[in-house]
Structure 1
């Protein structure tokens, strides 16, 4: 999330969200700190199957068909030093068949970006925004959108986001449209649902997100339905500084098949086990579920240390939201807990997490793989 001329922990008497709303959310979860049953005792993943050329976290990830077949792509992010100077515009391609990663052309921007999002539509990868960090801590949400061509390793700048957002949920629809749900804009969260049409290179506003405006939430889309869960809300000021709280809420959005701008939103059960921040997530049409993995237990800016001064700890949970039964299912656990993710990729029966942070809040280069047993 960029924060205009101040960083996210800065003093700014705007964008109050009633703290009582967040408190009520936590009260709905009497066992929010308890872990859900794992759906099996054995981890679903082994050691990292290969590695990025350098450790990277908060990076935008996508799966696409590259010159050498199914390929995982990583754009932007934060390097191991975790300081303002470690924001990155680097990009990498990891060919799944040969389990090898290499650098590709960097994102054509002047400064590194955090919390951007990448989505593959009709063979191209669309890269949205992110935020920059200055030496004095100032953070700015950026409007740029690029279409990346995997065949010739090139970027084309397309229409900017009407409202620049970062730490948003980005969801592809019908291999044409891309939804950007909520997220951070300069000085606070927004409830906007912005819809990009890749065929006309144009933007529209879809039905607004009715939940608490959040950043660092996660979600996925299958068929005409999306699930958006968790994230971090602003809950007023404490000692002149914004108070950030986890938002333990899940919303389902059903898209009108005749009009992609119309979404019927309704609250559904929150994710069992307590809210998590920056989970890896993807919609899985084969399972008719949205899959969530990892994530942090304490909201933080970008270095893994919570706004409350306590280090965030990663989760090893793998959860699925079943769109047919409207219910959560525990699907297993990761071999190694991780957090600070901007997406989950699936190729064949395998799911991939690229980079992130471990239990020591250290930035990692691992490309981890897991499967879900039926």
Structure 2
């Protein structure tokens, strides 16, 4: 169990079908604003480590937040609440939360077929014990209704979720109750069934970031479990300073070819990441390099802080943009591309403050 809280790469040709934790809906977007950081709206309540995704509703882009942790940052702050934000109007509202009413952290959401799927997460009890949750919820943005889908075979939290062909959701690695797993579990949204794909070849991780462009995956960072160095020592939780690319075989969806990728600075913990349909590049924002528990305090006892860096990655090219430190955030579960920019909902700012801001970053 995690310790309790105290209080250049392969070719990227092709277009992406669906983004990690979001859908890019350019036809619904108004004219693009100027470069920089903009606060689009405020959530009804500050929330972090929340699952986020976007969908089209009556010709408008709606961004959604599910579950996570409110500002108190204790086990009692873990929530099942959900919010809907009209990005163009700059308005957010509370909506029905997850149907079982069970608060959870580190769930992840994706959009497939303009339906949003929320996977996993973990609960926190008063005694600090944690449990990975198996539930999968489908949310219909048109009706506002939820449906429960087939459970995750190996329940995971803090996983990466990637949608291929607007149908198949690949859950890569993640934490299962007491340790990380290497499993790649694939959910067929059309048939409500699971199958497995080629295992994750790197060190098993949680809190990693991932995205997909066409059939090409990029997974970076996360936290690996390092075994104790002696019989009387404890295992430690350290940043996994590596990235991997993966290529899904269109003729055999269980087959993924994995390769390491040299991307200095991309490995972080709970960064916001997506693949850009507009630019054909992977985008990573924020996150932290000191792994931490849900209250923002590192496993080493030091307070964690967000990384003030945005990276845009394409074949043979990496653009780095240093952001104002005051605008840096961490504790994200996805990134939404909209209107020429990249949007986060909530998260954690400096001094481990849970945020209610819906922010958009434009680099050019």
* Fold equivalence (TM over 0.5): yes
- Cα drift, residue 332 of structure 1: 4.8
What is the 5 A alignment of 1:1-374?
A: 3=1, 8-9=2-3, 44-67=35-58, 69-237=60-228, 239-270=232-263, 272-273=264-265, 275-322=267-314, 324-325=315-316, 327-333=317-323, 336-373=327-364
Q: CA deviation at 1:47?
A: 4.1
Q: Tell me, what secondary structure is at the counterpart of 2:134?
A: coil
Distance 1:108 1:228 in 2: 30
- 1:57 and 1:79 in contact (8 A); partners too: yes
Q: 1:297 Cα shift?
A: 2.2
Shift of 1:240: 4.4
> TM-score, normalized by length of structure 2?
0.88
SS at match of 1:49: strand
3-state DSSP of counterpart to 2:76? helix
Q: Under a length normalisation based on structure 1, what TM-score does the superposition of the two structures give? A: 0.86
CA RMSD of aligned residues (A): 1.6
Per mean C-alpha deviation after superposition, the further-off stretch among 83-92 and 276-285 is 276-285
Q: Aligned pair count?
A: 332
8 A contact 2:203–2:224 mirrored in 1:
yes
Instruction: Give deviations 1:78-137, integer Å, cap 9, x for gaps.
Output: 000000010000000000121000011110124200000000000100000100000000
How much has 1:274 moved relative to structure 2?
Answer: 6.7
* Mapped partners of 2:96, 2:185: distance in 1: 28
* Separation in structure 1 between the aligned mates of residue 35 and residue 67 of structure 2, nearest angstrom: 28
Measure the CA separation in 1 of the matches of 2:171 and 2:272. Answer: 16
2:28 aligns to what? none
Residues 290-316 of structure 1 deviation map (CA, whole Å, 9 limit, x = unaligned)? 110000121011000000000001012
Partner of 2:7: none
User: What SS does structure 2 have at the residue aligned with 1:85?
Assistant: helix
Runs of 5+ unmatched residues, structure 1: 11-42
| Offset at residue 288 of structure 1 (A) | 1.6
Is 2:221–2:268's contact at 8 Å kept on the other side of the alignment?
yes
Residue 364 of structure 1 deviates from its aligned partner by 0.7
Query: Could you tell me how far apart the structure 1 residues matched to 2:247 and 2:239 are?
Result: 24
Secondary structure in structure 1 of the residue aligned to 2:195: strand
| Alpha-carbon distance in structure 1 between the residues aligned to 2:42 and 2:307 | 20
Quick check: 213-222 or 46-55, which moved more? 46-55
Q: Which runs of 4+ in 1 moved over 4 A?
A: none
- Rounded to whole Å, the distance in 1 between the matches of 2:202 and 2:41 is 38
- SS of corresponding position for 1:360: helix
Q: Distance in 2 between matches of 1:109 and 1:203?
A: 22
Q: Would the aligned equivalents of 1:9 and 1:242 in 2 still touch at CA under 8 Å?
A: no
The 8 Å contact of residues 266 and 311 in structure 2, kept in 1 or not, is answered as no
Q: Hey, what's the Cα distance between the residues in 2 that align with 1:68 and 1:114?
A: 31
Conserved in 2, the CA contact under 8 Å of 1:58 and 1:77? yes
